[in-house]
Amino acid sequence: MVYHGQRRSLLQLFEDQPRLNVCAPMVRYSKGAFREVVRDYNVDIAYTPMILADVFKSSEFARQDYTTNDRDCPVVVQFAAHDPIDLAHAAQLVAPYADGIDLNCGCPQKWAYKERIGAYLSDRPEVVRDMVRTVKSAVSIPCSVKIRKHPTDVRQTVELVRRAQMMGVDWITIHGRTRHQKSTEPIDYDVIKLVKESVSVPVLANGSIFTLADAEAMYENTGVDGVMAARGLLQNPALFAGFEQTPLACVEKYVDRALAYGTPTFIFHHHVMYMMESIMSPVERKTFNCLSSTPAILDHLSRYYGIGHSE
């Protein structure tokens, strides 16, 4: 972790800018190099991947996985937790190097549910209340929660966000699908709108944002304060700058920054594949998928697209 010096106020950003573009927390993918690239293309706020609070507060090795610098601002560190003390300790450790803390209350993975984190908390608003209260008393930076639509009872969704607001949460992000729904199923605009109307803090909406038109539809149907993209930004980091597909200059920026950060080959390969999937032919995609080393990937990009990298 690297100290930034003066940080940008997230709360002031919410006041100053009525529509915010946000990079979602993505396991393995929303790390430093990628966060820096999307900021060059109109992303206002970027989240880290989900971090397990109990591991982070106990392990120096785990803490080394979070890196940041002066170009990575504002950044929100997302934690998964079920114990308020674990969350507060993790938040205190990271607070000098972050602009906000987010509590994951929406991860749909089965392993997360068994660990009593993520979407497990959607039925336990009192636990979310206690964790928000504890974090707010432990650190001075803003705190948010990220939730999903409740699988059976929308009233539970409303109760969850109202209790979080009572404890001082600074903003809320809602994904408009339940934890059981596939990513191909439609987003529920109505539940997102209901959350927006049920609280007075800013609300961000997550789910199926792949183009500026998708973002505009979300605003028009829900009245939220910002939109958060995940898969859309993986496929096109320049999404919020109005590009219909990833420009090669964006790929080159990612290559430079990923190499500078020492990004593992499998993550580097996946990012480039996501970005260039719409550009490559089916035959080329098969060839590219077989590349197993960073030099091989760099050679392919240089040979076929003229993409090099800074030394």
Please state the residue numbers annotated as binding site for FMN. 25-27, 78, 146, 175, 230-231
Chain center to CA of 288: 27
Query: Is residue 107 annotated as a catalytic residue, yes or no?
Result: yes
Q: 283, 289 in Cβ contact below 8 A?
A: no
Q: How far apart are the C-alpha atoms of 277 and 296, rounded to whole Å?
A: 17
The catalytic position among 23, 73, 107, 250 is: 107
Binding-site members are 25-27, 78, 146, 175, 230-231
Of 173, 207, 161, residue with least CA distance to 188: 207
DSSP assignment of the chain: ----SSPPPHHHHHHH-SSEEEEPP-TTTSSHHHHHHHHTTT--EEEPPPEEHHHHHH-HHHHTT----TTS-SEEEEEE-S-HHHHHHHHHHHGGG-SEEEEEE----HHHHHTT-GGGGGG-HHHHHHHHHHHHHH-SS-EEEEEE--SS-HHHHHHHHHHHHHTT--EEEEESS-TTS-TTSPP-HHHHHHHHHH-SS-EEEES---SHHHHHHHHHHH--SEEEESHHHHH-TTGGGT-SS--HHHHHHHHHHHHHHT--HHHHHHHHHHHHTTTS-HHHHHHHHT--SHHHHHHHHHHHH------
Structure tokens at 201: 């803090």
Active site residues: 107
